[in-house]
Structure 1
Amino acid sequence: MSSSTEWDLLEEIIVGRVEGAMFPSWDRILKNTIPKNALPDYDAQFSKKGTPIPDYIIEKANIALEKFITLLKSEGVKVRRPNLFEFQQKFSTPLWDVESGVSCANPRDVFLVINNCILECPMADRGRYFEVFPYREILKDLCKNGWNWVSAPKPTLDEELYSVSASEEYPYSITEFEPTFDGADFVRCGKDIIGQISHVTNGFGIKWLQNFLGAEYTVHVIQSKCPEALHIDTTIAPLAEGKLLVNPEFIDFNSLPKIFYDWELIEAPKPDSFITEIGGYRVVSDWMSINILSLDDKRVIVEEKQKSLIKTLKDKGFEPIPCAFEDYYIFGGSFHCATLDICRKKTLRQ
């Protein structure tokens, strides 16, 4: 059981939970990553910091999740879920404290799977410091079944890590004080791992990952043109060997790593209009449209309202599977973010 690409045949996956989700009590990074058009209303929208997200929002997201899980199971995918967890509890380290955690909605952020190694990521968000805990039963089971369960160096998240204001040296929320990264800032193409610098991933973090993986792997870095860059899976999506979906607003095609020079680059269409104000909260980019999940190198789960993307994928020979998921967006992700694939089987197509 292992997973080394984004497109091999999906057999087993972890899907996040939204029960007990909280408005982030520590939001220094969040303020820098939400869409610019949300900033004028930010204080009003997030005045309930450190309090539970309303039940009706949780319920709507859970309906979307259950339909998504039913779809996965109907396609032959085994689904695992994290345990329920009390995110409202205050916690601290010797250097800082927060009023609450957040949720376990997006396992892709918390872990990076490389073959049969599952790596706990050194996340830069203080409110997510203990977000690995709901997954411990899954981690223990994987370890008992031969997986290498590793935790990157736990960051101190000292004040020196955070950039007071954007500059040429530190254009995002963090400095190079210590290595930090989210798993969702990377996509996997076998021995080639593609990552980006963002508000949560720094060069030191990428350097640590390359050192950890060793010469057998190469970590390539892309440069996002998005000033709110947070996670690579709204920028590029490897769909199959030699086929890459690219967001033309966030990336310069000519600046992609050399490994993509002989790949077919598929330009993602402008996102179709979707709900960005669920419960009055706007937190994600329109390009959540390409936060898709491949079941293999043909079948791709896509938000059902993204008609332009569905057509583009069909025209390129893929088999898009529509699924309603907009009600999940308030939790900061779509199909890719909300999941972590732990078993993908290589297949040979005729």
Structure 2
Amino acid sequence: MTQPSHSINSFDEWTRLEEVIVGDPASYTSHHLDTSFQLFYLDNVTPDPSIGRELAIPSRLVDELAEDVDGFVQALGDLGVRVLRPQPVTDRATICSPWWNAVETPPLNVRDQTIVLGDTIVETAPHIRGRVFENDYLKPLFYGYLARGCGWLAMPRPALARASLDTGYHDAHDFDLTGLVEDPATRPIPGLGHELIFDGAQCMRFGLDILVNIANANHRLGFDWLRRTLPQFRWHRLDAVADSHIDSIIVPLRPGLLMLRSPDYLNTLPEPLQRWDIMYPPEQDESVFPDYSDFGFNLTSRYIDINVLSVDEETVIVNSLCPDLMRTLEKHGLTVVPVQHRHRRLFGGGFHCFTLDTARAGTAEDYFA
């Protein structure tokens, strides 16, 4: 396995990208539809009892995903970015806990389980049971960074027992939770209550300032932990702008330029960001996406393609299947690098989701001044 050549240094989403971990899709042949998975994706997925607990993904689509990730890695290398990869999954394991069991998820969307904050790796506390040990596939790389002097912290590991997950967001939006809350395949821990459960992609980094989406009691515990553990940053709470991740809603491209899913989100931003130049992406019609209805469903919304990756303040990697989005970004003075990504809605992630940028040129700037 290739080892890191840089020290950990990543404060933002746009300064020159020097080193990055790109997720590995090997063995991503199915989704395990336990209750934690269904609750996490409930904003986009209506559970279908006829599918059962395992959604098999056709091998052709798995192969196409691997081709597209390889193309993404090649594009990053061509741009002078050093790319590191997790250990691939060769045989997906069943994870057994006293409270549940689940099939492990391959380390594809590596943004979700870790935040890099300056010179520190922070492992987060996963929502989905099958992802509890996902970061083990990245640990050879994390130890390489540790040897180079980085900090390395981890949120408390959640038990993810029955009733650990707060359904407040879903209740407020009138989602049907029938069969998901009192799942007989899980066990509760008496007296535990809601746990600290939090994903890295709930955060967006702006130098000294970090935006954090908080949609329920689990997230509030994570937010409080981050503020206490890393007081050198300024933490800005966003109240339920989404059920969890925000990197397909709020996308900073360079200082002073922000892509926002729609004007509906403008007033949710901290006041300094509202003074930035705000661009809005063109609407994506459902007809431009692959149709998986013959065997499954989409995990993400049609806005997933604004989940772009900035290589520097002038250059951004964008799905080549989105010509209108590419033209919009070019009108704002950005150089677009098109890379094909066909099945972003089936596997639940875009280019930002696939990456953990461990070394960027930026420092702890005050971009809100």
Alignment TM-score > 0.5, same fold: yes
Do the aligned partners of residues 288 and 199 (structure 1) sit closer, same or farther apart at CA in structure 2, a change above 3 Å counting?
farther
Amino acid at match of 2:94: K
Do the aligned partners of residues 68 and 105 (structure 1) sit closer, same or farther apart at CA in structure 2, a change above 3 Å counting?
same
Segments of structure 1 that go 5 or more residues without pairing to the other structure are: none
Counterpart mapping for 1:212-251 below 5 A: 212-214=229-231, 216-226=232-242, 229-248=243-262, 251=264
Amino acid at match of 1:110: Q
Note if 1:67 corresponds to 2:84: no
Q: Residue 37 of structure 2 contacts residue 129 of structure 2 at CA under 8 Å; is this kept in 1?
A: no
Amino acid at match of 2:24: R
How far has the Cα of 1:284 moved from its partner?
1.4
Note if 1:143 corresponds to 2:156: no
Instruction: Name the SS for the 1:137 alignment partner.
Output: helix
**TM-score, reference length from structure 1:** 0.87
Q: Residue 20 of structure 1 contacts residue 103 of structure 1 at CA under 8 Å; is this kept in 2?
A: yes
Rounded Cα–Cα distance in structure 1 between residues aligned with 2:332 and 2:316: 12
Rounded Cα–Cα distance in structure 2 between residues aligned with 1:222 and 1:276: 32
Do the aligned partners of residues 168 and 130 (structure 1) sit closer, same or farther apart at CA in structure 2, a change above 3 Å counting?
same
Q: Residue 44 of structure 2 contacts residue 300 of structure 2 at CA under 8 Å; is this kept in 1?
A: no
2:94 maps to 90
Note if 1:27 corresponds to 2:34: yes
Rounded Cα–Cα distance in structure 2 between residues aligned with 1:346 and 1:80: 20
Moved over 6 A (4+): 169-176
Note if 1:179 corresponds to 2:193: no
Note if 1:120 corresponds to 2:123: yes
Amino acid at match of 2:206: C
Rounded Cα–Cα distance in structure 2 between residues aligned with 1:210 and 1:170: 31
- Aligned match for 1:13, one of 13, 16, 20: 20
Q: Residue 16 of structure 2 contacts residue 313 of structure 2 at CA under 8 Å; is this kept in 1?
A: yes
Do the aligned partners of residues 201 and 285 (structure 1) sit closer, same or farther apart at CA in structure 2, a change above 3 Å counting?
farther
Count of matched residue positions in the alignment of Structure 1 and Structure 2 = 340
Do the aligned partners of residues 318 and 67 (structure 1) sit closer, same or farther apart at CA in structure 2, a change above 3 Å counting?
same
Higher mean C-alpha displacement, 71-80 vs 300-309: 300-309
Rounded Cα–Cα distance in structure 1 between residues aligned with 2:240 and 2:103: 31
2:324 maps to 308
Amino acid at match of 1:118: I
Do the aligned partners of residues 345 and 125 (structure 1) sit closer, same or farther apart at CA in structure 2, a change above 3 Å counting?
same
How far has the Cα of 1:142 moved from its partner?
0.6
| CA root-mean-square deviation | 2.9
- Aligned match for 1:47, one of 34, 46, 52: 52
1:341 maps to 357
1:191 maps to 208
Amino acid at match of 1:161: S
Note if 1:255 corresponds to 2:254: no
Do the aligned partners of residues 38 and 119 (structure 1) sit closer, same or farther apart at CA in structure 2, a change above 3 Å counting?
closer
Do the aligned partners of residues 266 and 201 (structure 1) sit closer, same or farther apart at CA in structure 2, a change above 3 Å counting?
farther
1:287 maps to 303
How far has the Cα of 1:169 moved from its partner?
11
Rounded Cα–Cα distance in structure 1 between residues aligned with 2:273 and 2:167: 36
Higher mean C-alpha displacement, 127-136 vs 168-177: 168-177
How far has the Cα of 1:199 moved from its partner?
7.3
- Aligned match for 1:265, one of 259, 278, 284: 278
Do the aligned partners of residues 15 and 200 (structure 1) sit closer, same or farther apart at CA in structure 2, a change above 3 Å counting?
farther
Q: Residue 319 of structure 2 contacts residue 339 of structure 2 at CA under 8 Å; is this kept in 1?
A: yes
Do the aligned partners of residues 135 and 170 (structure 1) sit closer, same or farther apart at CA in structure 2, a change above 3 Å counting?
farther
Rounded Cα–Cα distance in structure 1 between residues aligned with 2:16 and 2:244: 27
1:101 maps to 104
Rounded Cα–Cα distance in structure 1 between residues aligned with 2:217 and 2:304: 18
Amino acid at match of 1:236: I
Do the aligned partners of residues 219 and 3 (structure 1) sit closer, same or farther apart at CA in structure 2, a change above 3 Å counting?
same
Segments of structure 2 that go 5 or more residues without pairing to the other structure are: 1-6, 182-191
How far has the Cα of 1:55 moved from its partner?
2.8
How far has the Cα of 1:201 moved from its partner?
5.7
Amino acid at match of 2:117: I
Instruction: Name the SS for the 1:109 alignment partner.
Output: coil
Do the aligned partners of residues 164 and 73 (structure 1) sit closer, same or farther apart at CA in structure 2, a change above 3 Å counting?
closer
Write out per-residue CA displacement over residues 263-291 of structure 1, whole angstroms, 9 at most, x where no aligned residue: 11212221255324356532211000210
How far has the Cα of 1:225 moved from its partner?
4.9
How far has the Cα of 1:75 moved from its partner?
0.3
Do the aligned partners of residues 223 and 308 (structure 1) sit closer, same or farther apart at CA in structure 2, a change above 3 Å counting?
farther
Q: Residue 91 of structure 1 contacts residue 100 of structure 1 at CA under 8 Å; is this kept in 2?
A: yes
Rounded Cα–Cα distance in structure 2 between residues aligned with 1:305 and 1:26: 29
Do the aligned partners of residues 202 and 168 (structure 1) sit closer, same or farther apart at CA in structure 2, a change above 3 Å counting?
same
Rounded Cα–Cα distance in structure 2 between residues aligned with 1:70 and 1:7: 20
Do the aligned partners of residues 268 and 199 (structure 1) sit closer, same or farther apart at CA in structure 2, a change above 3 Å counting?
farther
Instruction: Name the SS for the 1:232 alignment partner.
Output: coil
Rounded Cα–Cα distance in structure 1 between residues aligned with 2:310 and 2:273: 19
